[in-house]
Chain A
Amino acid sequence: MITFENVSKRYPDGTEAVAELSLEAPDAAITVLVGPSGCGKTTTLRMTNRLVEPSGGRILIDGEDIRSRPVAQLRRGIGYVIQHAGLFPHRTVADNVATVPRLLGKDRRAARKRSMELMELVGLDLAFADRYPHQLSGGQQQRVGVARALAADPAILLMDEPFSAVDPIVRKSLQEQFLQIQAEVGKTILFVTHDIDEAIRIGDKIAVLRKGGHLAQFAAPRDLLEKPADAFVEEFLGLDRGVRRLTFISASGLSLHTDALVKQGVEPTAGQLEQPWLLLVDDAGTPIGWIDPRSPNAAPIPIGHPFIAGGDSLRAALDAAVLCPTGWAVGVDEQGHAVGVVSQEEIAVAIREAHRASLEAV
C-alpha cells in the first residue's frame, strides 16, 4: 500500500505542482492518476521513487516513510516504466531487462534466465533477446520496458503514460495484455495517464486531479462515472459518460427473444411471421443476417457485430443494436452461436432498470 499524507510540491518560483494530496493506493491494485496537463500527476508519481522530493507531507510504503531507506535501495525495489520506454540503446533487449537484477548483484547467467522468463511473460519473442532496442517497434519496446520494470519482482510498479506513445490499436492490445499480466503478478501499481478512457479501462481506483495538483475525486471507475464529485470531474469524463457507465453493467440481465431465430432452409412458422425481424442462422447456429418476414426473398441484412449474452456489458449490447439498421442486437454464446435477439427499446428498459437499482443502492 502506498500512502500519500498531505503531500505537496512547490517549486522555488512559486508554482504549486501538488497541493496537500492525501491518497491511499491499495495493494495488488491499479491506482490511476488522471487529469489534464499541469495537474501534478507525473510529479506525484516521481515523488514516490524520490526522483522529485516533496516540499511537504510524507509518502509511506506499507507504513514506512520512503525517506527511511537509501534512495538507490528504494528505487531498485520499485519498478519504473516511462512513456518512451527509456531503454538503454547500447544494451540488448535481454540485458535491458536484466538491468535491476544486475544492479542488485545477481550473476549474469541467473539474470539472463530471468530476462527470458519476463520476455515470455510480456509476450515478446525470445528471438529478440539479443537485438538492440532500436530494432524493435514502439509497442515491442514498451513491452521490454514493462519486462525490465518487473525483472526484480518489485512489489510496486510506477507507470508514467506507458502506452501513450503507441498507436491506438497497439495501445489497446498492450492495455489488455497488461491487465492479464497484472492478474498474474498482482502488483501495487500507480499509473499516470491523461486519457480518461485508459483510466476507466485499466483502473481499479481512479484519482482525478485538477490543475495545481488538487485531488478532485478518488473513486472506483464505476462510481466515478455514476457520481462525479463536481462539474470539473463531470466535464473531464466527457459527454458519453452515461454510455460508458454501461460498461460496468452486465448484459446477462436482458431477456432475449429466442423465437426470432430461423435456420437456413427451414420455413418460418406462422408465429414467426408476426415478428418484425427474423434472424437467419446456419446449421451450427452462427448468425447470417436479418430477414424481413414480409419480403423473405430479399438479401439478409448484416447484423453488424453481436454481443456475448453471458459475458459482455450492456454497453456492448447497446452498441450492437445501435449499429444495426434493424435496431436489434444479436446475443451469442462464447462459440459465436446465436442464443437470442433483443431490441434497442428493450435494452433501454434494462438500462433504466439498472439505473434505478444503482440509485436505490446508495
Chain B
Amino acid sequence: MAATGIFDMPSYVQSSYLGLVWLQLEVSLGATLAGLVISLPIGQLCSRLPKLYPATLGIVTLIYSIPSIALFVLLIDYTGESETTVFIPLTLYTLAILVPGVVDGIRSVPRDVLDAADGMGYGRIRRYLTVELPIALPTLMAAVRVAAVSSLSLMSIGATIGNYGGFGDLFLLGLRFFDNRLIWVGLISLLVLSVLCDLLLRGAQRLLTPWARSLRGAS
C-alpha cells in the first residue's frame, strides 16, 4: 500500500493528486464566483437603500454562523452526496465577506464623481459598469481574495459527506488509515494553493486597477 512518490495517492483516496487539485479549485473558486454574482446586486441594493444594509448584514452573518455539517445534512436530501452539496454552503458563507465588500466598494466611489457622471449624461447601467464598478474594484477585490482563501480552507469539511472535500479528503482518510503523510501532503498543498490563489488574484487586481497602484505610490 506504500506509495512510491509524495504525490501518488493510495487507492482508497479514489482520486489522483491532480484530481484533488482540480476539485478543490473548481468548488472553492466556483463558490466564490457564485457568491460574487449574488453579492453584487444585493450590495448594490443595500447601498441604494441604506436602511436595508444592517438587516442584510445580520442575515449573511447569521448564515455564516450555521455549522456546515448541519447544512450538509439538510441539503443532502435534495442534492445527494455531490459537489453541489458542498458548493451551496460555501457560496452562502462567502456572502458574509462579499456583501460588505461590495457595499464598501460602492461607498468608496466619491459622491462628486457620481454627480459629474450624471451631469455629463451617463445612463444608469453605463455608470454602474464604467464608473462605479471600476472605482469599487480595489475594495471589492480585497474581499474576493479573502473569500477565495476562506473557501479553499472551509471546503475541507466536504470530506464528511464522501469525497468532496478536496484536500480535506486526505485529512479524514489519513486519520482513518493511520497515514500521517496524507495529512501533511493535504495541509501543505492547501496552504500552497491558497497562497498561489491569493497571489494570482492580487496580480489580476493590479492589472485591472493601474490607477490605484499609482494612488498608493503617491500617498
Which residues of A line the B interface, CB within 8 A?
49, 51, 71-76, 78, 80, 82-92, 99-100, 103, 131-132, 134-135, 145, 148, 158
Q: Which of B113, B116, B131, B134 contacts A80 (CB 8 A)?
A: B116
- For A152, the closest partner residue in chain B by CB is B120
User: Which B residues are in CB contact (< 8 Å) with A86?
Assistant: 110, 112-113, 115-117
> Whole-angstrom distance from the CB of B105 to the nearest CB of chain A?
12
Chain B residue total in the interface (Cβ 8 A): 21
Pairwise interchain contact B121-A73, C-beta atoms closer than 8 A: yes
Interface stretch (choices B30-38, B169-177, B209-217): B209-217
User: Do A87 and B113 contact each other (CB < 8 Å), given the known contacts A132-B215, A135-B218?
Assistant: yes
8 A-B pairs (CB sep. < 8 Å): A51-B119, A72-B121, A75-B121, A80-B120, A82-B116, A90-B135, A134-B215, A135-B214
Is residue B122 within 8 Å, beta carbon to beta carbon, of the partner chain?
yes
Pairwise interchain contact B121-A83, C-beta atoms closer than 8 A: no
Pairwise interchain contact A100-B113, C-beta atoms closer than 8 A: no
Q: Which of B123, B211, B212 contacts A91 (CB 8 A)?
A: B211
Q: A91-B211, A135-B214 are in contact. List 16 more A-B contacts (CB 8 A).
A: A72-B122, A75-B120, A80-B116, A82-B112, A84-B110, A85-B112, A85-B116, A88-B131, A88-B135, A89-B135, A90-B211, A92-B211, A103-B120, A132-B215, A148-B120, A158-B119
- For B215, the closest partner residue in chain A by CB is A134
Pairwise interchain contact B119-A88, C-beta atoms closer than 8 A: no
> Whole-angstrom distance from the CB of A50 to the nearest CB of chain B?
9
A134 to B216, CA, bound (A): 10
A132 to B119, CA, bound (A): 21
Pairwise interchain contact B135-A100, C-beta atoms closer than 8 A: no
User: Do A76 and B121 contact each other (CB < 8 Å), given the known contacts A86-B110, A86-B113, A86-B116?
Assistant: yes
Is residue B179 within 8 Å, beta carbon to beta carbon, of the partner chain?
no
A51 to B111, CA, bound (A): 14
Pairwise interchain contact A90-B134, C-beta atoms closer than 8 A: yes
Closest 3 CB pairs of A and B: A86-B116, A75-B121, A80-B119
Pairwise interchain contact B119-A83, C-beta atoms closer than 8 A: no
User: Which B residues are in CB contact (< 8 Å) with A158?
Assistant: 119
> Whole-angstrom distance from the CB of A74 to the nearest CB of chain B?
8
User: Which A residues are in CB contact (< 8 Å) with B122?
Assistant: 72, 103
Is residue B118 within 8 Å, beta carbon to beta carbon, of the partner chain?
yes
Q: Which of B118-132 contact A (CB under 8 A)?
A: 118-123, 131
A132 to B218, CA, bound (A): 11
User: Which B residues are in CB contact (< 8 Å) with A75?
Assistant: 118-121
User: Which A residues are in CB contact (< 8 Å) with B123?
Assistant: 72
User: Which A residues are in CB contact (< 8 Å) with B116?
Assistant: 80, 82, 85-88, 145
A129 to B214, CA, bound (A): 15
- For A158, the closest partner residue in chain B by CB is B119
- For A70, the closest partner residue in chain B by CB is B121
> Whole-angstrom distance from the CB of B208 to the nearest CB of chain A?
10
User: Which A residues are in CB contact (< 8 Å) with B119?
Assistant: 49, 51, 75, 78, 80, 82, 158
A186 to B2, CA, bound (A): 87
> Whole-angstrom distance from the CB of B199 to the nearest CB of chain A?
23
> Whole-angstrom distance from the CB of A81 to the nearest CB of chain B?
9
User: Which B residues are in CB contact (< 8 Å) with A103?
Assistant: 120-122
User: Which B residues are in CB contact (< 8 Å) with A90?
Assistant: 134-135, 209, 211-212
Pairwise interchain contact B211-A89, C-beta atoms closer than 8 A: yes
User: Do A134 and B218 contact each other (CB < 8 Å), given the known contacts A51-B118, A75-B121, A103-B121?
Assistant: yes
- For B134, the closest partner residue in chain A by CB is A90
User: Which B residues are in CB contact (< 8 Å) with A131?
Assistant: 214
> Whole-angstrom distance from the CB of B195 to the nearest CB of chain A?
28
A90 to B212, CA, bound (A): 7
Pairwise interchain contact A82-B218, C-beta atoms closer than 8 A: no
A89 to B112, CA, bound (A): 11
> Whole-angstrom distance from the CB of A119 to the nearest CB of chain B?
18
User: Which A residues are in CB contact (< 8 Å) with B118?
Assistant: 51, 75
A138 to B135, CA, bound (A): 20
A145 to B135, CA, bound (A): 18
User: Do A99 and B211 contact each other (CB < 8 Å), given the known contacts A51-B115, A88-B113?
Assistant: no
Pairwise interchain contact A89-B215, C-beta atoms closer than 8 A: yes
> Whole-angstrom distance from the CB of A128 to the nearest CB of chain B?
13
> Whole-angstrom distance from the CB of B115 to the nearest CB of chain A?
6
> Whole-angstrom distance from the CB of B137 to the nearest CB of chain A?
8
User: Do A132 and B211 contact each other (CB < 8 Å), given the known contacts A80-B120, A90-B135, A100-B121?
Assistant: yes
A194 to B134, CA, bound (A): 34
> Whole-angstrom distance from the CB of A242 to the nearest CB of chain B?
38
> Whole-angstrom distance from the CB of A59 to the nearest CB of chain B?
15
> Whole-angstrom distance from the CB of A283 to the nearest CB of chain B?
52
User: Which A residues are in CB contact (< 8 Å) with B214?
Assistant: 131-132, 134-135
User: Which B residues are in CB contact (< 8 Å) with A92?
Assistant: 211
Q: Which of A74, A89, A90, A92 has the most CB of B within 10 A?
A: A90
> Whole-angstrom distance from the CB of B131 to the nearest CB of chain A?
6
